[in-house]
Amino acid sequence: MTGAGEAKNWTLCLRNVVKVNGLQGGSQAESEQGLVVKPQGNALTITL
């Protein structure tokens, strides 16, 4: 996913996903719906 402009205070929920193979540029936490990913900068890479 890519976007133009500045994004602030957003998260991404990967529904029904409990684990990813790699995450660069962010943090992850488990929730009832799936894995919640929060970016920590301008770029976020998730390897499923």
| Single pTM value for the model | 0.78
pLDDT category, 3, cuts 50, 70, 90?
low
- For residue 2, what pLDDT band results from cuts at 50, 70 and 90? low
Instruction: Give the N- to C-terminal CA distance of the chain in Å, as an integer.
Output: 14
Residue 42: pLDDT over 90: no
pLDDT in tens, 16-40: 999 999 999 999 999 999 999 998 8
- Domain map (residue ranges) of the chain: 12-47
- 4-13 contacts at long range (C-beta below 8 A, 24 or more positions apart): 7/39, 10/38, 10/39, 11/36, 11/37, 11/38, 12/36, 12/37, 12/38, 12/44, 13/37
| The pLDDT value given to residue 1 | 64
